[in-house]
Homo-oligomer: A and B are copies of this chain.
Amino acid sequence: MRSFEKSYQLFDRASKVIPGGIPGHQSPTLLVFGSSPCFIERAEGSHIWDVDGNEYIDYMCGYGPMVIGYNHPKVEAAARAQSTLVDTCNLPSERYVELAERLVGLIPIADWAIFGKNGSDVTTYACRVARARTGRNKIVMVEGSYHGIGAWCISFTTGITPEEQASVLKFDYNDIEGFTRLIDENKDDIAGVILTPFRHEAFHDSEMPAAGFLETVRATCDDIGAVFIVDDVRAGFRMHMGGSLEKFNVKPDLICFSKALGNGHPISACVGSESMKDAASQAFFTGSFFTSSAPMAAAMATLDEMEATDAVQIMYDRGEMLKDGLLDQADAYEQEVHYTGPEPIPFMTFATEDGWDRSKLFCEECYERGVFFHPFHNWFISAAHTEEDIKKTLEVTDAAFKRVKTEMG
Contacts and interface: CB of A to CB of B under 8 A. Distances in A.
B158 A166 contact: no
Contact of A118 (B86, B112, B117, B291): B117
B42 A120 contact: no
A129 B96 contact: no
A63 to B, nearest CB: 7
Contacts of A88: 62, 65-66, 264-266
Nearest to A23: B285
Interface in A1-28: 10, 13-14, 16-20, 22-26, 28
Interface stretch (A97-105, A316-324, A326-334): A97-105
A282 to B, nearest CB: 5
A287 B19 contact: no
A186 interface: no
Contacts of A66: 88-89
**How many copies of this chain does the complex contain?**
2
Contact of A159 (B17, B51, B128): B128
Contact of A85 (B20, B41, B62): B41
A116 B118 CA distance: 9
A154 B91 contact: no
A40 B113 contact: no
A25 B286 contact: yes
Given A91-B26, A93-B40, A264 B292 contact: yes
Interface stretch (A76-84, A171-179, A303-311, A342-350): A76-84
A258 B163 contact: no
A37 interface: yes
Interface residues of A, number: 110
A351 to B, nearest CB: 26
A255 interface: no
A287 B24 contact: yes
A132 B184 CA distance: 37
Given A42-B86, A88-B66, A166-B161, A284 B154 contact: yes
Contacts of A127: 159
A313 to B, nearest CB: 24
A283 interface: yes
Contacts of A89: 40, 43, 48, 62, 66, 70, 264
B13 A97 contact: yes
Contacts of A129: 159
A406 interface: no
A114 interface: yes
Interface in A123-164: 124, 127-132, 137, 148-152, 154, 156, 158-161, 163-164
Contacts of A64: 288
B286 A24 contact: yes
A39 interface: yes
Contacts of A84: 71, 76
A91 B22 contact: yes
A101 B101 CA distance: 42
A113 B92 CA distance: 30
B289 A266 contact: yes
CB-based closest 3 A-B pairs: A24-B286, A128-B159, A156-B284
Given A38-B91, A39-B92, 6 more contacts: A40-B91, A43-B89, A48-B89, A66-B89, A129-B159, A163-B164
